[in-house]
Amino acid sequence: MKVKDLRPESKVEAIELTVTSKGDVQEIERVQANDRVRISNGWVREWRGNLQVSAGRYGRLEVLK
């Protein structure tokens, strides 16, 4: 899947992304700006006009090296 194919309220089977920035964090996260990540079995939502991709409860987030 490519970023251009993301749509709100859709599922994400697998996608690799580069984190460009992080907003305020409510709990500890293991990713930093400029990290490359792979999200599997996740979802996409729209919030304040921006798309958010998440692994959610049942998905997987890997930080790639």
Q: What percent of the chain has pLDDT over 90?
A: 49
Domain map (residue ranges) of the chain: 3-22+29-64
pLDDT at residue 59, rounded to an integer? 94
pLDDT at residue 46, rounded to an integer? 93
The mean predicted confidence, pLDDT, of the chain is 87
Among the residues of 1-65, which ranges form H helices? Answer: none
The label of the residue with tokens 């079995």 reads 41
Mean of pLDDT values over 47-62 = 90
Count CB atoms within 10 A of the CB of residue 12.
20
- 8 Å CB contact between 43 and 14: no
User: Does the predicted model carry a pTM greater than 0.85?
Assistant: no
pLDDT at residue 27, rounded to an integer? 62
pLDDT 10s digits, 16-31: 989 888 777 666 578 8
CATH numeric code, 3-22+29-64: 2.40.50.140
Whole-angstrom distance, CA of residue 2 vs CA of residue 58? 21
